[in-house]
A and B are shown apart, each in its own frame.
Chain A
Amino acid sequence: AILEKAEMVSNAKMERSTKSFNFAAYHDLETLYSFMDTLVASHPNLITKVHIGNSYENRPMYALKFSTGGVSRPAIWVDAGIHSREWVTQASAAWIANQIASNYGVDPSVTSLLGQMDIYLMIVTNPDGYVFTHTNNRMWRKTRSVNSGSSCRGVDPNRNWDAGFGGPGASKDPCSESYHGPYANSEVEVKNVVDLIMGHGNFKSFISIHSYSQLLMYPYGYTCTDIPDKSELHSVGTAAIKELTSLYNTIYQVGSICKIIYQASGGSIDWTYNIGIKYSFAFELRDTGYYGFLLPANQIIPTAEETWLGLKYIMEYVCNHPY
């Protein structure tokens, strides 16, 4: 513990600007939030910080909006860290945010993409949980809401969406890691995202980033029935994974949530698909169980780099296939 604290203090000192931000390390919430501010300050014409609401414990929730103008342009949503123990996701999202910012004006496809569409990137989707993984329990997954009538806290934020809510693949036990909560959108963290998506009205893609297992998945989780767009999403996913694998030979599998990992109800990408956001995907990043959630920091950048290739493919596809 002493070694970790020293590490955190020295990381914080180093991260006064994005140039010195150490992407190859795990950071606490404060450091990630200050990174966001630095990134926005260095790219004022591209990025704004959107305060989408507060968490249960009243922490601000921020999404980075990448936009070159327009009014309510078609947009792509990417979130990381909805499950707080999946640390490689928040860390990768920070790297990806920086990558998008640096690539704009340099990389033709990113530049063209941002000429037509906006990107919303939420680096820490569950800030209360993330803080708890630093202060108390590295394996914390859920939110930190108080469950009435139980000494167990927290709801699984990816069982709390209004899609097959309360069905198989979620627990009604508040002490369970996959507790769905008292009702859909009971968790303010989920409600804030739902409100933003609904209020915006023009999202064309929704991508949620998790770890671990090395999978790229599409709906549904709440049922194993195929979605009408299965064929298209499966081939987009397959092509995206080909890009991802090309970098370091990391093997991913593609399939619907229900078939490839488990039946799970109340998941975010099921809800987004059902409200018409066709290109809804979920990633499970490295690894396949060797380190699991405790992925060594020296794998953050390789993970982020390969994930970015997959993500970029999906984004380009979305842009080229307006609907």
Chain B
Amino acid sequence: MLCAHWSRLRRVSSRSCCATALRSTHSSTRLSSSPERIMKTFCSVWLLLSVVELSPAQEPPLPETAEDMASTGDLEPTHYPARRAAQVALHYLNTRHGSPFRVFGLQQVHKASAEDVEAGGRKYKLDFSVTDWASGSAGPALRCSADVLFPRTERHSAPDVKLRCEALQQINRTVQEEEAFYQKHIPPDSAVSARDIPDSYGNMSEEMQPFWRLARVAASFIMLRESSENTEFNMVQMASVTQQESSEEQLMLEFVVLLHDLPSQEIVQWKLLASWSPDRGVRVLQTEWQPRCPHATKPPN
């Protein structure tokens, strides 16, 4: 609104314009109109304030050397310490309840707190909501609470998660889809193989979606294991999937996945072997970190 009023004055800078406005209203012999009186008052106050304005703020602050953001006590739920811990709980949830037709995503952290525990670890208590990504991001939210313990050991060790989600048993089980998917790919002549899912443009065929979700669930085992307070992992691509022979009644799949860590912005590549069936869920049998060449083009096979 103010912008429209200013437009009546031809100005280069606001302050010089303000002064012009004052001069013009003073020199006028007619009663100034109401908007002009308002502007005059505004300008006077503003000029006055700018005269008594404190000198510009002191030098910009120097960065601290060791930033300790992971404070003890109540945490701001939208800040990263709480979110990273919730992401760990989410990976845990997906390892337990993920499937070719179900992958959970973090919707929001409601409450969080952290405290140091004996043996030098830090425990986070979280209250958060997740949604089932497979049914679209607008799907119903599930409320969860979790304790996430990050051990503080010399060598990295996996965080420990205790998780409770309400109504987990009540969400629609995708039994029929899982059974159909299993039956389609369990025959011995099935040899699914694909690369770059999704592709550079975010395209993913219907047929590939369950494999992508399986990769995401299997990758959750790795992301959970590799997580610390200084990481925040997501899977950005299923670089490849190659179905393996299986004598047991499990789909056996070899995946290469690209993980993205938000704080470092690094892309990390892992090869893994996982099995799945509707009864036994996802099991990760082997994992192998893959070094990426500095001149990285396609992932090395």
Interface residues of chain A, those whose CB is within 8 Å of chain B, are: 3-4, 7, 25-26, 71, 87, 112-113, 115-116, 133-134, 136-139, 141, 150-153, 156, 163-164, 167-169, 171, 175-178, 213, 220, 222-225, 228, 249, 251, 253-255, 258-263, 265, 274, 287-297, 299, 316, 319-320, 322-323
- Chain B residues lying within 8 Å of A261, measured Cβ to Cβ, are 80, 262
Contacts A151-B294, A168-B65 given; does A255 touch B78 at CB 8 Å: yes
Inside 8 A of B6's CB, which chain A residues have their CB? 116, 322
19 contacts between A and B (CB under 8 A): A87-B200, A153-B295, A176-B266, A178-B265, A220-B61, A225-B61, A253-B78, A258-B67, A260-B78, A260-B80, A261-B80, A263-B67, A288-B106, A289-B105, A290-B103, A293-B236, A293-B260, A294-B200, A296-B203
User: At the interface, yes or no: B172 with Cβ under 8 Å from chain A?
Assistant: no
A290 touches B198 (CB 8 A): no
Quick one: which of B60, B69, B137, B258 contacts A259, CB cutoff 8 A? Answer: B69
A291 to B235, CA, bound (A): 8
Partner of B237, one of A152, A254, A259, A294: A294
**In the complex the two chains form, is A259's CB within 8 Å of B79's CB?**
yes
- Known pairs A3-B199, A7-B201, A116-B7; list 13 more (Cβ under 8 Å): A112-B3, A139-B258, A150-B294, A156-B265, A171-B264, A177-B266, A178-B264, A223-B64, A224-B64, A261-B262, A287-B137, A292-B235, A296-B201
Instruction: Flag if B260 contacts A292 (CB, 8 Å).
Output: yes
A265: chain B residues at CB < 8 Å are 63
Residues of A with C-beta under 8 A to B57: 228
A136 touching B297 by the CB < 8 A rule?
yes
- Interface size grouping (class) on chain B: 35 or more
Residue in B60, B204, B236 whose CB lies within 8 Å of A163 = B60
Are A291 and B69 in contact, with the CB atoms below 8 A? Answer: no
Binding site for A on B (CB under 8 A): 1-4, 6-7, 12, 14, 57, 60-67, 69, 76, 78-80, 103, 105-108, 133, 137-138, 198-204, 234-237, 258, 260, 262-267, 294-297
Cβ A320 vs Cβ B61 within 8 A = no
- What is the CB-to-nearest-CB distance from A226 to chain B, in angstroms, rounded to a whole number? 9
* Cβ A290 vs Cβ B137 within 8 A: yes
Contact residues in B for A323 (Cβ distance below 8 Å)? 14
Separation of A133 and B138 alpha carbons in the complex (Å): 31
CB distance from B178 to the nearest CB of A (A): 20
Residue of B nearest to A83 (CB): B265
Nearest residue, chain B, Cβ from A159: B265
Residues of B within 8 A of A292 (CB): 234-236, 260
CB distance from B198 to the nearest CB of A (A): 5
Q: Which residues of A contact B63 (CB under 8 A)?
A: 164, 167-168, 222-223, 263, 265
Give the residue of B1, B79, B80, B198 whose beta carbon is less than 8 angstroms from that of A291: B198
Given A3, A116, A213, which contacts B3 in the complex, CB threshold below 8 Å?
A116
Bound-state CA distance A135–B57 (Å) is 47
Q: How far is the CA of A297 from the CA of B79 in the complex (A)?
A: 29
What's the minimum C-beta distance from B298 to chain A, rounded to whole angstroms? Answer: 8
Chain B residue with minimal CB distance to A225?
A: B61
Asked, given contacts A7-B201, A26-B201, A255-B78, whether A263 binds B7 with beta carbons under 8 Å apart, the answer is no
| Candidates A150, A176, A288, A320; contact of B1 at CB < 8 Å | A320
Q: Could you tell me the distance between the alpha carbons of A287 and B61 in the complex, rounded to whole angstroms?
A: 32
